[in-house]
Structure 1
């Protein structure tokens, strides 16, 4: 006998409960439980996309390798973040804010793959085929090998895949897909989980690289159950300000490559354009002789990137001063300000402090600490740093400047970008080859660095 049962499912973690609760017991998130109806006692069992004979356990040394380990997407920055290209049989999740350029990136990469002779199927649930054609004409991404379909029914997508199995499948987006045997609405936890599971099984069995687009919540996390990120092989986030031209593609999970790589793009009328030298872009228009600015070299994956940090320290009449940071960890900035106050005697208790990383990039490595401290101190003393100075180093709680890794790559990038003097930890001086024409100042403490860097 068929029965209908009501349950509540958390949209963040997938926790199920028979009654509604204000806060999810699984992840402690408020107002995340959504009502869903479940049919029991007569519901047919869903069949997987393809049946396969029972697997036998074999030694890993006897497992055959792939004939072709990766597909070249034709976009270097995209390949860099993926770890060298698309792996056959992988499931990739791409998330980002609305209008950031996710569909543009995937349509351009699909065209490049088709131009290289790979069969690509682009399935959209948010546009019609005519609308995709219109966007492809603007991006100059028309190719016979790129097939498109406007479909939201997963069973219909299965039929398309069985008739003409592609090498790469793009689903835009997973929140619009639904399975007819699931009674809940498209975009619900059950639908997203089941559709992703079906696509994952098909990708592994047929060796098709599947890319799915995921919407994000107001907090910036990918919508749907958290388990969605655990199911896929790679999770990519497309970041950037919607009203700025630069976009950053970052991997937060990658089973086939590093999660430290970033890809930098510029949004133009013809679509996304790769930025081969991010340092030049991030330093463009940098003011000279203005207090509160400092440049640092951050390692993003395999390459160094020079970015500018801007700080503004201003008096306040309120008892609790503001501490705001954009692009860096707020707690890290608070700690560095405490070191300036305790070890160097800076009176910052009555000062508002604002810190910003120019260009919209986010930095999370400790080697930028010295540049943060120099920018804050420069704004507080109203004393600019010299033009052509660059700062590298991690700051400890006692005010010491600690050694950082890959210092030679940072110095080489500083030399290429025209910097004349670099402040870096004194302990990195041992056995270091300094580029010609670059003055290197080894410092052991923050006080020593401030004494030399700030003039006036």
Structure 2
């Protein structure tokens, strides 16, 4: 046995061959300490230890395979996964603390188990009783095909996988596990995290017994998966749960998916019974009103979340300001973008807001990230100023330039087709946004050049 001096961070476990004042792993100062470790002598490499070379094939001769999927009853989860869980896949789910990672994976585990598959749920963060309490709270009935192990040793988890032979392995969270062969590096150390993940990769990609592996990943202060970026390259799918702590709405975004569409978004509602799939987002993000009922300050538009068009209601409130600096509040909108649209409305639409407070929000709390919503935002503000409601079957899809001209937006035909399918009667878009030869069943497509033209048509010249 030989002794070797290394320098290890007492905060995150990062190891270095030389002392540094600031830890590269966690950016902490004066936490790197000298440590003596015992080094075992490496055995002489023999021919028997050399890994057999993989065969070299022509790409045209390789036999293609169709990914076998486990389709759950959670529709929005299936959507972001690309149609279900691939049997030999690695997925990592991350979010800020309290985002719903463990709640979602436990619901997925129970759904998969109900289909007759074996599931192993390994937790390094919670005890078995804590997992049971959560299951009692969010699941109607706990399936007998779920096994749990509350342990931080990846060696024990791998042994349990051999014993139980599960079809789905869930690890919560990967940063809490360690392998004995890489001690004294602590759990959460980049080396431990990557080596544990590599062992799970071998489990998932085993040609004799492929298994699906879902890992939960902790998120750092920069809202990224804790550890090396290599972890994201290792897995097949990366899912990020978005949403405010107190908000009901949760969005799950696929930032990477080898078996589906990157950028796909699924929507869930956080309730006392866990995360519930929102299967028809358009209904969730609109207010249900009686036929012919209109309210001022409301306008509809169509967002594109992943491959899906979603109809969204934008609400505004304009009130008198009694301070030198009126408020500009956008709960689902960047303040800089809101100020820009207000300036356009004042200069190009002829509506003075210099002494008015303006508040913008969306029904359901969905974030407005696209330029395609800009016309609807402006029209909702104008509706509030004029105190005139816009008909519930009228929608606005266009960007608005600083010149007051309407601009075309991507995937416009798909958005209008969704409106046509939902029974809307009229949509305002930019002039020459697409060919007039495109025909729809019920909806009237109005193509106009400027914001002023839209305001005049919708409000018949302005304030009553």
TM-score category (smaller protein)? 0.7 to 0.9
1:228-284, Cα deviation, whole Å (9 max, x unpaired): 333322111222344343322221222221123222223344433322211111113
1:316-331 matched pairs, under 5 angstroms = 323-331=328-336
Residue number in structure 2 paired with 1:63 = 62
Distance between the aligned counterparts of 1:440 and 1:16, measured in 2?
67
1:381-414, Cα deviation, whole Å (9 max, x unpaired): 5554344321111233433222234434433433
1:326-405 matched pairs, under 5 angstroms = 326-344=331-349, 353-379=358-384, 383-405=388-410
Residue number in structure 1 paired with 2:47 = none
Query: What is the TM-score with the length of structure 1 in the denominator?
Result: 0.83
Residue number in structure 2 paired with 1:410 = 415
Q: What's the CA shift for 1:95?
A: 1.2
Q: What's the CA shift for 1:319?
A: 7.0
1:263-310, Cα deviation, whole Å (9 max, x unpaired): 222334443332221111111357965443321111223332111223
Residue number in structure 1 paired with 2:169 = 169
Residue number in structure 2 paired with 1:94 = 93
Distance between the aligned counterparts of 1:376 and 1:122, measured in 2?
50
* 1:118 and 2:108 aligned: no
Residue number in structure 1 paired with 2:21 = 20
Going from structure 1 to structure 2, the CA distance change for 1:318 and 1:63 (only over 3 Å counts) comes to farther
Which blocks of at least 5 consecutive residues in structure 1 are unaligned?
Answer: none
Report if aligned partners of 1:96, 1:239 keep a CA contact under 8 Å in 2: yes
Residue number in structure 2 paired with 1:104 = 103
Residue number in structure 1 paired with 2:232 = 229
1:176-226, Cα deviation, whole Å (9 max, x unpaired): 212232324323444333322332344334532211112224553333334
Residue number in structure 1 paired with 2:445 = 440
Higher alpha-carbon deviation: 402-411 or 142-151: 402-411
Residue number in structure 2 paired with 1:256 = 259
1:352-373, Cα deviation, whole Å (9 max, x unpaired): 5543233132343332221122
Report if aligned partners of 2:285, 2:362 keep a CA contact under 8 Å in 1: no
Report if aligned partners of 1:73, 1:112 keep a CA contact under 8 Å in 2: yes
Going from structure 1 to structure 2, the CA distance change for 1:156 and 1:123 (only over 3 Å counts) comes to same
Residue number in structure 1 paired with 2:179 = 179
1:23-81, Cα deviation, whole Å (9 max, x unpaired): x6x9xx975996477666715789xxxx9643233222333333643222332211111
Report if aligned partners of 1:8, 1:18 keep a CA contact under 8 Å in 2: no
Higher alpha-carbon deviation: 378-387 or 259-268: 378-387
1:253-292 matched pairs, under 5 angstroms = 253-284=256-287, 289-292=294-297
If you compute each CA radius of gyration, which structure gives the higher value, 1 or 2? 2
Residue number in structure 2 paired with 1:210 = 213
Distance between the aligned counterparts of 1:118 and 1:210, measured in 2?
13
Distance between the aligned counterparts of 1:38 and 1:191, measured in 2?
17
| Backbone CA RMSD of aligned residues | 3.7
Report if aligned partners of 1:37, 1:183 keep a CA contact under 8 Å in 2: no
Going from structure 1 to structure 2, the CA distance change for 1:190 and 1:36 (only over 3 Å counts) comes to farther
Report if aligned partners of 2:7, 2:17 keep a CA contact under 8 Å in 1: no
Higher alpha-carbon deviation: 372-381 or 273-282: 372-381
Distance between the aligned counterparts of 2:311 and 2:15, measured in 1?
41
Query: What is the TM-score with the length of structure 2 in the denominator?
Result: 0.82
Aligned residues: 447
Residue number in structure 1 paired with 2:425 = 420
SS of the residue corresponding to residue 2 of structure 1 reads strand
Distance between the aligned counterparts of 2:429 and 2:345, measured in 1?
18
Which blocks of at least 5 consecutive residues in structure 2 are unaligned?
Answer: 44-49
Residue number in structure 2 paired with 1:298 = 303
SS of the residue corresponding to residue 453 of structure 1 reads helix
